Amino acid sequence: MSNHLDLHLTARGYLIDFLATSTAPSVDQNELREILLFLNNLITFDELNLIKEDVEGI
């Protein structure tokens, strides 16, 4: 499970990097925020499912 959790941290790191580099005035910040929230929710959902699978597998 450790590798999976590391993957989620890496994915969140990429989201943060993406946000930091997407601050040009031409970028629609509201749309960007919605996309980042959606992707973060997908990562969290996947992470919770992996934890649930590990708990049920014990």
Kindly report, residue by residue over 9-55, the tens digit of the pLDDT: 788 888 778 777 777 778 788 888 888 888 888 888 888 888 888 88
Confidence of residue 3 (pLDDT cuts 50, 70, 90): low
**Among 11, 20, 5, which residue's Cα sits nearest to residue 41?**
11
CA distance from start to end of the chain: 12
pLDDT of residue 4: 57
Question: DSSP letters of 34-45?
Answer: HHHHHHHHHHHH
Task: Record the pTM.
Answer: 0.62
**Among 43, 36, 39, which residue's Cα sits nearest to residue 8?**
43
For residues 13, 17, 19 and 23, what is the CA-based torsion angle, rounded to 10 degrees? 170
pLDDT of residue 1: 46
In this predicted structure, the answer to whether residue 57 has a pLDDT above a threshold of 70 is yes
Radius of gyration of the chain (CA): 14
